[in-house]
Amino acid sequence: MAFGLSSIGAANIPKNADEPLTGRAFLAPTVLRNMSSKPHVVEVNITAAPTRMSLQPGVTTDVFAYNGQIPGPTLDVQEGDSVVIHFQNKLSEATTVHWHGLHIPAEQDGSPFNPLAPGEKHDYVFVIKHGTAGTYWYHPHPDMRSGYQVAMGLYGGIIIRAADDPLPKSLTDKLIVLGDNRFLPDGSIDFPALRSPQGIIDENNGREGNVIFVNGQIMPTITIRPGEVQRWRVVNASASRIYRLALQGQTLLQVGTDGGLFEKPEEVNEILLANSERVEFLVRGTGKPGSVALLQTLPYDRYSPQTKPADWNHPRDLLTLKYSTETPVRPIAIPAHLRTIPVLDTTKATATRTISLSQGLINGKMMDMNRVDVTAPLSATEIWTVENLVGMDHPFHLHGFQFQILDRNGVPEKDRRWKDTVNVPKHETVRFVVKYNDFPGLWMFHCHILDHEDHGMMGVLQVK
């Protein structure tokens, strides 16, 4: 079971089967067509169905796809929009659509509590809250089957825009969905038997693929004009792979994370992006005309020592940034202040909870759909301590509510940011504060290594 498999959309399959799928011009996922003519209403259709696509040169693969594309088409909306998504399940198995990171009612979250049977239709209906502009994504979340369905191709991006976005509207805005997968020689997706040697490694580490995709392409090329500034929104849609992003010879200006923009930009050499996390950064065209730079993922040891892959310490190329030979343009000024993020007051916390992560367990228990693990009153503020007891990283995701990290291993977080996922490295501890300001109901919290989630590393929060 894996996450990832960005394939190329059906519209992007080469006419000639021998035409290479690597090194081509970067393609953004298509955008869902809004069928509504009403202001501030977005109404779209999404269908999950089996199909065949060319994911690698010379072969085709049986996949699942949203609207016949992998990644699925992007849901592009504004703060304040009312959204209606007409979803149809044409798979031969139950599924859901989880709107990862969105602050919406529990019954619209697409959690395992609300599966849709084969052939079933459902309308997901929600309002996009003000203050939530950022980059999100959607994917299936059926009980014990999420990893398989995502690996088969079911995931797509979400962009929420703000009318008062402080970044210049003239910036080129690119959505980049990262995924990985593993294939058999005939092009079919490799799902090893559960108790086979590779199956045991996948269950422990989380399934990683040896082929990395960028919007379904292998090593595409993004062109930039000297002096130009581009805004890149990156989604990690891999089941378990953590990306340590770096652009050769350049620093990045990070401006956002899971829950949208920072308060102020941060100059960084690299960005660690755990699975399901998102990041926004600015790429500045500082290279010479005609030169190239590679976006890479650098080595990062997230693994259990016993099942660490042999090539974990090798950098991997993701895409090529190519400088055009056009006349350089004058760089755009970037604001020093992006927005003000309100403080969640820890003095008003009514509960402090400890969530212990071990191999396949949360607080020593496996997931039980009939058990509530944490109960909290509506409007409460709580502090959660998430401790990783084992020798591999666990990315922790809370459905429905964004939180603010307080400290890591007792060291205070220097900047305030909205998050819905946080990577907890091996034998480390993270504390965050969260407020259940609305939307009572049953909510999931879990490790976002999808093998771990599907095998029971998940719990239930009831807000009432």
pLDDT digit string (tens) for 375-403? Answer: 999 999 999 999 999 999 999 999 999 99
Could you check whether 10-161 and 172-323 share the same CATH topology?
Answer: yes
CB 323 within 8 A of CB 285: yes
Integer distance in angstroms from the first to the last C-alpha of the chain? 34
Q: For residue 49, with 0-12 CB atoms within 10 Å meaning exposed, 13-18 middle and 19 or more buried, which class applies?
A: middle
Q: Taking the domain 10-161, which CATH number applies?
A: 2.60.40.420
Residue 16 pLDDT more than 90?
no
Residue 314 pLDDT more than 80?
yes
Instruction: Compute the average pLDDT of residues 430-448.
Output: 98
CB 416 within 8 A of CB 343: yes
Cα–Cα distance for residue pair 89/244, rounded to 1 Å: 35
Q: For residue 356, with 0-12 CB atoms within 10 Å meaning exposed, 13-18 middle and 19 or more buried, which class applies?
A: middle
Cα–Cα distance for residue pair 405/432, rounded to 1 Å: 4
In the chain, the amino acid numbered 339 is R
436-445: b or e for each residue (b if 16 or more CB lie within 10 Å)? beebebbbbb
Residue 8 pLDDT more than 60?
no
Give me 331's structure tokens.
């760089």
Residue 448: name the closest of 301, 239, 199, 244 by CA. 239
Residues 347-366 pLDDT 10s = 999 999 999 999 999 999 99
Architecture of domain 172-323 in this structure? Sandwich (2.60)
- Of 10-24, 89-103, 411-425, the least confident: 10-24
- What's the confidence (pLDDT) of residue 21? 61
Percent of residues in the chain assigned helix, strand, coil, to nearest 5: 5, 45, 50
Residue 66 pLDDT more than 50?
yes
Residue 425 to residues 7, 252, 274, 303, 411, Cα–Cα distance (Å):
30, 23, 10, 10, 14
Instruction: Compute the average pLDDT of residues 327-335.
Output: 93
pLDDT band at 293 (very low <50, low <70, confident <90, very high): very high
Residue 122: name the closest of 75, 89, 153 by CA. 89
Q: Where are the alpha helices (DSSP H) in 313-455?
A: 450-454
Instruction: Compute the average pLDDT of residues 135-157.
Output: 98
- What's the confidence (pLDDT) of residue 4? 32
Residue 422: name the closest of 436, 438, 408, 440 by CA. 408
Pairing of strands 351-358, 361-362: antiparallel
Q: For residue 15, with 0-12 CB atoms within 10 Å meaning exposed, 13-18 middle and 19 or more buried, which class applies?
A: exposed
Q: What is the pTM of this model?
A: 0.94
- What's the confidence (pLDDT) of residue 10? 34
Give me 275's structure tokens.
């699975």
Pairing of strands 441-447, 394-398: antiparallel
DSSP bridge pairs for 280: 233, 256
Cα–Cα distance for residue pair 47/403, rounded to 1 Å: 32
Q: Which of the 8 DSSP states describes residue 106?
A: G
- What's the confidence (pLDDT) of residue 14? 35
Q: Which fold has domain 346-463?
A: Immunoglobulin-like (2.60.40)
Residues 6+ apart with CB under 8 A from 425: 302, 388, 393
Residue 401 main-chain phi, psi, to 5 deg: -130, 130
Residue 216 main-chain phi, psi, to 5 deg: 80, 0
Cα–Cα distance for residue pair 330/226, rounded to 1 Å: 9
Domain boundaries, given as residue ranges, for the chain: 10-161, 172-323, 346-463
CB 449 within 8 A of CB 206: yes
